[in-house]
Amino acid sequence: TNTQNDANSSSKSGVTVTDVSSVVSSAMPSVVAITSKTLVESRNDYSQDIWEYYFGGGNSGNNKSNSYEEDAAGSGIIVDQTSTELLIVTNNHVVEGADSLKIQFAGTESKDSVDGYIKGTDSTKDVAVVAVKLSDISSDTMKTIKVATVGDSDSIKVGDTAIAIGNALGYGTSVTVGYISAKEREVSAEDVTMKLLQTDAA
């Protein structure tokens, strides 16, 4: 978003202050917090097996395993609404392998979170689409959320203000501000090369 059009700037004593609160207020209803739970099974390590064999009075425990739930948290953006679903774009690493997903909408408490499910993923670009049934969302929440207005990345210029809104590390919604540092930045990961926008917004 170009903050020259959407935010107020003022300069005092040579310091430029940019107020992005109007942009944040407009975008926040489209941002969601996502938490996932994954059941992880791990076998006892070798030293534990030896200890149980000699001191526990049983076999070596080669077939023993422990299971525990692993939590992950991230952010998502509401990008579309069909007649039955709300569609949300997020990172693949947030939902990959998840056994269950909970979606919390901006302005609601955690107890108001609803179940989500994966519609599709692209691990090479770390992108996933998650859906929520409209029937699971309360009428009050539907009044406070909205589909995001998606911009045109081709029109972005280096030096434009970048505003990051999301559920950082699961602590809740936060806002950081930076700049578009570069365009067409080539990044390689897992034998895949992508051209990306670079920003210094945390």
Would you list the DSSP string of 3-72?
HHHHSEEEEETTEEEEE-HHHHHHHGGGEEEEEEEEEEEEEPPHHHHHHHHHHSSS---TT-EEEEEEEE
Give tens-digit pLDDT for 102-111.
999 987 776 6
Kindly tell me if the per-residue pLDDT of 1 is higher than 50: no
Over range 55-70, report the average pLDDT: 61
Give tens-digit pLDDT for 167-178.
877 777 889 999
Give the span between the Cα atoms of 128 and 113, in whole angstroms: 19
- Is the separation of the CB atoms in 167 and 152 below 8 Å? no
Say which amino acid occupies 157.
Answer: K
Structure tokens at 185: 């930045």
- Is the separation of the CB atoms in 102 and 35 below 8 Å? yes
More confident residue, 33 or 63: 33
pTM for the structure as a whole: 0.76
Confidence at residue 3, expressed as pLDDT on a 0 to 100 scale: 44
Give 74's DSSP letter. Answer: E
Mean pLDDT, rounded, of the chain: 83
- Strand order through the sheet with 192-199: 161-167, 173-189, 192-199
Structure tokens at 152: 């045109």
User: Residue 38: beta bridge partners?
Assistant: 70
Confidence at residue 19, expressed as pLDDT on a 0 to 100 scale: 87
